[in-house]
Amino acid sequence: MKLQDKVVVVTGSGNGIGEAFARRFTAEGAKVVVTDIEAEACARVAREIGGVGLACDITREDGVQAVADLLVRGIDAERFLILSPGSALLEGLAAKAADYDGWIASHAPVVSG
Ligand SMILES: NC(=O)c1ccc[n+]([C@@H]2O[C@H](COP(=O)([O-])OP(=O)(O)OC[C@H]3O[C@@H](n4cnc5c(N)ncnc54)[C@H](O)[C@@H]3O)[C@@H](O)[C@H]2O)c1
């Protein structure tokens, strides 16, 4: 139990790599905060691992603020760690590159998340 009494926030952990991180850190004893833009996925993973769910868009200031508020005021923890899996380029890099807004949207979670 390497992470007993630690709090770990994993952004984008409703699916994929972030979900795997959330499950692994839980197995190591951490209390995990699952954050994701997909509210249902966020709630599902949080429920399954016994964590805390916070649905938010991590590319928006209010989303980042919600995570910060939860950490500073809502959780009494000795330490915490924030990981940032971001989001996948679901339609492929070339397709996104052809559309400036799509390109920015693809990278925003990685930059701000
Ligand atoms: N899957 C791979 O093999 C692989 C390899 C290298 C790098 N990556 C990178 O790792 C990251 C995650 O990949 P994945 O395969 O786990 O993707 P995924 O799509 O399975 O999971 C990404 C999660 O991020 C969430 N998300 C997207 N935008 C968000 C936002 N604005 N705010 C909050 N949550 C948001 C999605 O809802 C989803 O649950 C991506 O940046 C991807 O490019 C993936």
> What tens digit of pLDDT does each residue of 14-59 get?
999 999 999 999 999 999 999 999 999 999 999 999 999 999 998 8
- Residue 77 Cα to ligand 1 midpoint, Å, equals 27
- Residue 14 Cα to ligand 1 midpoint, Å, equals 9
pLDDT for res 76 = 62
| Residue matched to tokens 């760690």 | 81
| pTM for the predicted model, two decimal places | 0.85
Task: Enumerate residues 6+ apart whose C-beta is below 8 A from 48.
Answer: none
- Structural domain count, the chain: 1
Instruction: State which of 87, 106, 112 you would mutate to test the pocket of ligand 1, scoring each by most atoms of that ligand within 8 A of its C-beta.
Output: 87
Residue 93 lies in a domain: yes
65: containing domain: 7-112
Query: Quick check: CB of 21 below 6 Å from ligand 1?
Result: no
- Residue 42 Cα to ligand 1 midpoint, Å, equals 13
Residue 1 lies in a domain: no
- Residue 16 Cα to ligand 1 midpoint, Å, equals 6
Instruction: Say yes or no to pLDDT of 92 above 60.
Output: no
Q: Which residue, judged by its Cα, is nearest atom 18 of ligand 1?
A: 16
Q: Token pair for residue 44?
A: 């599902």
Residue 35 lies in a domain: yes
| Residue matched to tokens 């980042």 | 64
pLDDT for res 7 = 86
pLDDT for res 100 = 76
Question: Residue 43 belongs to a domain with what CATH number?
Answer: 3.40.50.720
